[in-house]
Structure 1
């Protein structure tokens, strides 16, 4: 795979578990042709997620792979995955201005206490309604030279 390898692999894993594996079970068929098409699509989507139209691609991927009536709210460790990193750095947390100290910690790879210390030292911005602003988390990651 290309430089988007980890991202494309994660997309393929999600498509496999949410789409292809259930089809394979229900159809009693290995759906090999669909797997090949999904692998190609995962590479294409990974390129889109890293390109200039990233926000549209992110909205499409999240809507398709994480459907539901509830607001998008992945577990904290999701933010450390290739897709989570791309979403965070390109779009932030869709639909939220702030996150809890625990989620901010997961996003930054530090403890909740580490986030508290960063807020105290004005390295992260506290949101008026509580938590930490997503924008300050994004800025901190970019300052540290981390990339999607």
Structure 2
């Protein structure tokens, strides 16, 4: 079986670990879980396509469903900085911004942009990113900056847009 792109692989791996492996344990290795694994891989390709190329509403809804399923919790979704560097984190940042916060810290913005917190501070200081009235920067401004930057179709890199941003 050929390997899918990194975004599909991340989605499949997370669903496998968080949902299908526990289900396999509960069902004592039932063959139905193998069928679910095939279905998850098929659907993951569709979700990845929607996240990359779907309209904004479809991409937002797909990211919300995946995040709610993969990262359940009582509080708002606030992943570690490293998550924004993953294939899923990069595509969510570019298509949605931070899905739950209007204002994000310089550190989170830096993680989303692939630069340092100081790099974000410099962008704000130079007027290249706005400062949010409540502190930090607007999530939509980071999203818009990522959208204006060239990106490759495999979601393996995201340039923040200016070579002097880092």
TM-score bracket, shorter-length normalisation: 0.7 to 0.9
Distance 2:151 2:68 in 1: 26
Please state if 1:100 is matched with 2:102: no
Gaps of 5+ in 1: none
Residue in 1 that maps onto 2:47: 45
In 2, are the aligned partners of 1:123 and 1:140 still within 8 Å (CA)?
Answer: no
Distance 1:12 1:105 in 2: 27
In 2, are the aligned partners of 1:100 and 1:130 still within 8 Å (CA)?
Answer: yes
Distance 1:37 1:77 in 2: 28
The partner residue of 2:37 within 26, 35, 38 is 35
Correspondence 1:9-20 to 2 at 5 A: 9-20=9-20
Listed one character per residue, the Cα deviations across residues 115-147 of structure 1 (whole Å, up to 9, x for unaligned) are: 111111111111111111112212222333236
Question: In 2 relative to 1, CA 68–99 (structure 1 residues): closer, same or farther, beyond 3 Å?
Answer: same
- TM-superposed CA distance for 1:38, in Å, is 1.4
Listed one character per residue, the Cα deviations across residues 58-97 of structure 1 (whole Å, up to 9, x for unaligned) are: 2222222222221111111111112112211221112211
Listed one character per residue, the Cα deviations across residues 91-123 of structure 1 (whole Å, up to 9, x for unaligned) are: 111221111111111111111111111111111
Gaps of 5+ in 2: 156-166
The number of residues matched between the two structures is 147
Please state if 1:57 is matched with 2:57: no
Distance 1:124 1:72 in 2: 23
The partner residue of 1:66 within 61, 68, 71 is 71
In 1, are the aligned partners of 2:95 and 2:147 still within 8 Å (CA)?
Answer: no
3-state SS of 2:100 partner: coil
Question: In 2 relative to 1, CA 125–146 (structure 1 residues): closer, same or farther, beyond 3 Å?
Answer: farther
Please state if 1:132 is matched with 2:98: no
Distance 2:46 2:151 in 1: 23
